[in-house]
Structures are given as C-alpha cells and as structure tokens.
Amino acid sequence: MSTLIIAEAGINHNGDLKLAKQLIDAASEAGVDYVKFQTFKSEKLVSKNAEKANYQKENTGDASESQLQMLQKLELSEANHLELIAYCKSKHINFLSTAFDLESIDFLNKLNIDLFKIPSGELTNYPYLEKIGSLGKRIIISTGMATLDEIGQAMAVLLKNGTLRHQITVLHCNTEYPTPMQDVNLNAMQTIAETYSVPIGYSDHTLGIEVPIAAVAMGACVIEKHFTLDKTLPGPDHKASLEPHELKAMVNAIRNIEYALGNIEKEPTPSELKNKTIARKSIVASKKITKGDTLTKDNITTKRPGNGISAMEWPNIIGTKAKKDYLEDDLI
C-alpha cells in the first residue's frame, strides 16, 4: 500500500496568500498526497499571557512578543481557505488543515474535509476530541509529548463519540523543533501499533529526510513533514522544515522504499535470475581424470559457472567413479 505523505505547510505562509499558493505549487511538484495548513482563531487558541515556546522565540527573534500576537499574524481567513482549496484542486493535490479550536473544527467540517488531523497539543483536550470524534471522519493523531496511556485515553474519547477504530491512524511524533536524533525513538511507533492495533505513521521534526524514510521501512503508512520555500524566512517553523528540493527527495526515497519492501516471500526475482548461472558454482575437474578413476577432493573442486552439477551435490559425487575422461576445469 502506498504511504500517505502529508507536506505540512502549517504557518510557513507567514500570513501571505501568495506564499501559501507557492507552497502548494512546491508540494504538488514534489508529488505528495496532501498539503496541510493550520486553521485557528488566535483568541480561541491561546490566552493573552501565553508565552511563545523557546524555539519560537529563537526562530522569530522576538522574545517579548506573546503567542497570541505571533499567531494573529498567521491566521488564514475563511475566504483564504476557500481560495486555497480551489487552488489545490487546480494543482491536483489534496487540501488538508489542522483545526486548533472548536469553531475551526466546525468550519472545516462545513468545507467537507474528509480527513481530520489532531495535533499533538490537542491530544489531551477532551472537548476537542469529543467534537472530532462525533464527525464520523477519518482521523490522524499526532502524539508528541504523549505517554502510551494518554494515547489510549484520547482514542477512547474518539471511539466513545462514534469514531470507528479502523478510521484512526496514530502518528509517533516528538514535539521539539528540530528533534534531536537521540530523542526520535522510532521503535515507539511499533509499540503504539502493537498496543492499540491501529495503523501507525510518523510526524517528523528532525532535520533532513532519513528518519521518515526509516519510518516507512519500519511500517509507517503515513508520513508528515514540515516544509518551506526558504529556511531563512522569518517565522517560528521555517528552520525545522524541508526546502522544496529536499521534500521532493524525501518523496522519491519513500516511493523507492515502498518498491524495495516487496512482499514476504524469499525467492529469486526476475532481474537476478540471469546472474544465477554466472555467480554460482559447479563441480569441475581440478586435474586430468581418466574414466574409471574415483572422484575425490584431490581431483575435483568447485568453480564458476553454475551450469553443471551443483556444488551442493559434493557429498553425493565424492567416492563415485568417473564415467569419462576429464581435463582440468571440465564440468563433471
């Protein structure tokens, strides 16, 4: 099955609709399945006194600015959403957005969004989970900062409110921007799958593309990755995002890994069969042998090519009589 790849534009549009469309262009060119934005009303999301995270302070260069002030500049209006959805359709890419408050959930639902993404910060938000759970939609949950029990509790709320288990995909995630390699803990992704019997994926905040590629090799069916047009742009998330050429390289690598995973059978593939005779060995004469001589380890050996008696027949050939004369290197 093909990995669902979500390119997280998030708030990397910096509140500029033109930049948002350029991000859609880049995501479409990279060949991802969805380009994802963020839908929120700043006043509904954070309180007036909420500080920015350390990475947000560092990346914006303004420690005095509040989260509310920062986010107000990054909101997309309802009209913006409609325009971006239409633009995605023109570029043959699926639109997705994460809602961060109850009103935004209702708004996205009215837009007939077929897939809802729950961000890590909302995993312990009961009324938020309750509302999304009641929609009967496919749901992807990010689990940054979460314990295994908290994941189970969130799922229980969704299931209680009408979501079916097969509609839920859980993404392992680490909410640090960028995530240090020693904190990735990809093995936890498989622990989630084994504990809750759900499809699993990975939302990545590391620098580079190797970790999401490894996640696909380990069974991730969904990959989410932040991207930007330019890592040096002002804003909180650009530095921990991929640039377009990196996003495209990640998509190509993931598709190659999907091919490489193959099936569970171990058997020769069509491409390698032509090398079988060349690479394997046959039993051959190691010196001149006269008809009637006993074949021993002193007068036979194994050499390429493998178009004679297989070297695995060695025990059955040793001790038998030569049926004809052989010169050195003749196939027995």
- Domain containing residue 312: CATH number: 3.90.1210.10
pLDDT at 51 over 90: no
Residues 246 and 198 in one domain: yes
User: Is there a domain that residue 224 lies in?
Assistant: yes
Domain that holds residue 201: 4-261
Q: Is residue 70 domain-shared with residue 15, that is, in the same domain?
A: yes
Rounded distance, CA 44 to CA 184, Å? 31
Q: What's the mean pLDDT in 283-288?
A: 98
Record the tokens describing residue 119, joined without a space.
């961000």
pTM of the shown model: 0.89
The answer to whether residues 27 and 119 belong to one domain is yes
Average pLDDT over residues 21-42: 97
CA atoms within 13 A on the CB side of 332: 32
186 and 234, same domain (yes or no): yes
Count of structural domains within the chain: 2
My answer on whether 89 and 27 are in the same domain is: yes
Residue 331 has pLDDT above 80, yes or no: yes
Position 292 scores a pLDDT of 98
Are residue 131 and residue 182 in the same domain, yes or no? yes
Whether residues 274 and 137 share a domain: the answer is no
Residues 6+ apart with CB under 8 A from 208: 246
> What confidence category does residue 63 fall into, taking pLDDT thresholds of 50, 70 and 90?
confident
62 has pLDDT over 90: no
**CA nearest to 301, candidates 268, 328, 276:** 328
Q: Give the model's pLDDT for residue 313.
A: 98
End-to-end CA distance of the chain: 48
In a shared domain, residues 136 and 12: yes
When comparing pLDDT for 236 and 139, which is higher? 139
Do residues 283 and 216 share a domain? no
Q: Are 143 and 161 contained in the same domain?
A: yes
Q: What's the mean pLDDT in 149-172?
A: 98
Closest CA to 129 of 161, 106, 152, 97: 161
Q: Are 27 and 227 in contact (CB under 8 A)?
A: yes
